[in-house]
């Protein structure tokens, strides 16, 4: 998969994209990231990429000409890209969208800056607008990194174990169950005995119950979207009893 990233500060991507899983995926040719400086597509003497907003107001707005020149230049090459603008006004990025984008052979990610991008870019020269959350960043670079990371790990071969994405948080509207590793006891806190039992079906049921109660407690908005089976309701009841019992024990 190819990621073409349009930014005023492409050097920001060098370390995050070159390390760990993403770095190895690029070495193996599973993903490719191409960094493009938007200023290179500004043809005036001073390579201006921003200007004051019409109608007045604070700050500067990114001009449409350099961005559109870059997009049109990249669209001449194959595979045909999907153009995404990272903006607070976009759809909220989630795991479902990440899975959809992972099926696209090439993405152009436009990183906004300052007070935003001229609206004509969003309306007429992009295919999708995405936001990574209800907060404001100094620019779209960090958002682009999030999209690249979330999408890349869904591409076959990027993760060593492809099954590891199947039970993660947000694969369905459900947070992941709690995870434990060695040592079995740490500063008086023990790993739940069920995980040491070797009873795989019982462990699977326990994990499902823990995921349900964790989602209901921490993300009621996600939990409201779920349709519980009778088995889920029973597992949730058991997990609730266990949770209350743990709180009672810790309060003694």
Same domain, 80 and 194: no
Nearest alpha carbon to residue 138 among 4, 5, 2, 9: 9
Q: Is the pLDDT of residue 183 over 80?
A: yes
Same domain, 27 and 79: yes
Same domain, 146 and 207: no
Express each pLDDT in 147-166 by its tens digit. Answer: 999 999 999 999 976 645 55
Task: Please give the pLDDT value at position 171.
Answer: 66
Same domain, 228 and 134: no
Backbone angles phi and psi of 110, in degrees to 5: -100, 120
> Domain end: 131, 160, 189, which one?
160
Q: Is the pLDDT of residue 145 over 90?
A: yes
Express each pLDDT in 38-72 by its tens digit. Answer: 999 998 888 999 999 999 999 999 999 999 999 99
The mean pLDDT value of the chain amounts to: 93
Same domain, 6 and 108: yes
Q: Please, are residues 232 and 212 in contact by the beta-carbon 8 Å criterion?
A: yes
Residues making up the chain, counted from first to last: 252
Dist. CA 156–CA 232, nearest whole Å: 31
> Domain end: 134, 160, 186, which one?
160
Same domain, 155 and 37: yes
Range of the structural domain that residue 229 is part of: 167-251
Dist. CA 49–CA 68, nearest whole Å: 11
> Domain end: 160, 192, 217, which one?
160
Confidence class for position 244, pLDDT limits 50, 70, 90: confident
Going along the chain, which residue ranges are E strands? Answer: 2-7, 32-37, 50-51, 61-62, 82-92, 106-111, 128-131, 185-186, 189-190
Confidence class for position 245, pLDDT limits 50, 70, 90: confident
Q: Please, are residues 131 and 88 in contact by the beta-carbon 8 Å criterion?
A: yes
Beta bridge partners of 186: 189
Same domain, 18 and 132: yes
DSSP readout, 94-145? -HHHHHHHTTSSEEEEEE-BTT-B-HHHHHHS-SEEEESSSS--SBSHHHHH
Q: Is the pLDDT of residue 170 over 70?
A: no
CATH number, domain of 218, equals: 1.10.1270.20
Same domain, 147 and 215: no
Q: How many domains does the chain have?
A: 2
Express each pLDDT in 220-234 by its tens digit. Answer: 999 999 999 999 999
227 burial via Cβ count (<10 Å: 0-12, 13-18, 19+): exposed
Q: Is the pLDDT of residue 247 over 80?
A: no
């Amino acid at each position: 998969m190819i990621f073409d990233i349009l930014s005023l500060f492409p050097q920001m991507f060098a370390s995050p994209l070159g390390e760990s899983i993403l770095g190895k995926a690029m070495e193996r040719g599973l993903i490719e990231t191409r960094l493009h400086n938007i200023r290179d597509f500004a043809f005036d003497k001073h390579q201006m990429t921003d200007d004051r907003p019409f109608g007045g107001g604070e700050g500067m707005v990114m001009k449409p000409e350099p961005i559109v020149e870059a997009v049109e230049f990249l669209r001449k090459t194959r595979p045909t890209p999907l153009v995404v603008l990272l903006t607070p006004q976009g759809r909220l990025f989630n795991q479902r969208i990440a899975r959809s984008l992972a099926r696209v052979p090439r993405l152009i990610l436009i990183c906004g800056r300052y007070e935003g991008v001229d609206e004509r870019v969003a309306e007429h020269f992009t295919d999708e607008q995405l936001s990574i959350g209800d907060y404001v960043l100094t620019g779209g670079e960090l958002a682009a990194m999030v999209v690249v990371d979330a999408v890349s790990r869904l591409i076959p071969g990027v993760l060593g174990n492809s099954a590891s994405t199947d039970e993660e948080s947000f694969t369905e509207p459900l947070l992941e169950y709690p995870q434990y590793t060695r040592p079995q006891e740490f500063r008086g806190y023990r790993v739940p005995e069920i995980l040491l039992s070797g009873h795989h079906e019982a462990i699977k049921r326990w994990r499902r119950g823990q995921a349900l109660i964790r989602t209901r407690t921490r993300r009621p908005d996600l939990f409201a979207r779920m349709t519980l089976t009778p088995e889920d309701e029973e597992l949730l009841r058991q997990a609730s009893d266990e949770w209350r019992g743990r709180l009672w024990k810790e309060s003694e």
